[in-house]
Amino acid sequence: MTTTPSILLIEDDIDDQEIFTSALAFIDNGIVCSVAANGYEAIMHLNNAATLPDLIFLDLNMPMMNGSQFLREVKAGHKAKDVPVIVFSTASDMKTIQESRQLGAEQFITKPEKFSELVGMLHGLLFPATR
């Protein structure tokens, strides 16, 4: 990505939403980040979006439509099927990681515990040439 990326964060935890968006602002406050509280809200957001995000960060454990259900629906032919999805979860077991990849996740990242680790991880993902 050579320009400032746009992101859709699908996350139901308000604290995690704030930490994630704060980390993005720390990296570059020009990064546009939309937030959906579950997979259903994310599908509605994508359906109504004039432009699709460059990346989708997806939590797995959410009400209404969880991350796995979202992946199934989007990767089955939705207009956002080609947008890379990065699963961003507290899970770290191999079964969950493999299932997410089989459903079409580009990457699987376990949520870091420290803000500085989150900033570093996001920076590396969004601007890999400047690592």
* Mean residue pLDDT across the chain: 91
Flag whether pLDDT at 118 surpasses 90: yes
Tell whether 1 is covered by a domain.
Answer: no
Tell whether 56 is covered by a domain.
Answer: yes
> Using one digit for the tens of pLDDT, what is the confidence trace for 93-110?
999 999 999 999 999 999
Share of residues in the chain with pLDDT > 70 (%):
96
Tell whether 54 is covered by a domain.
Answer: yes
Q: Between vectors from CA 65 to CA 6 and to CA 118, what angle results, nearest 5°?
A: 40
CA distances from 100 to 26, 85, 104, 128, 129 (A): 29, 10, 7, 23, 26
Q: What is the CATH number of the domain that holds 54?
A: 3.40.50.2300
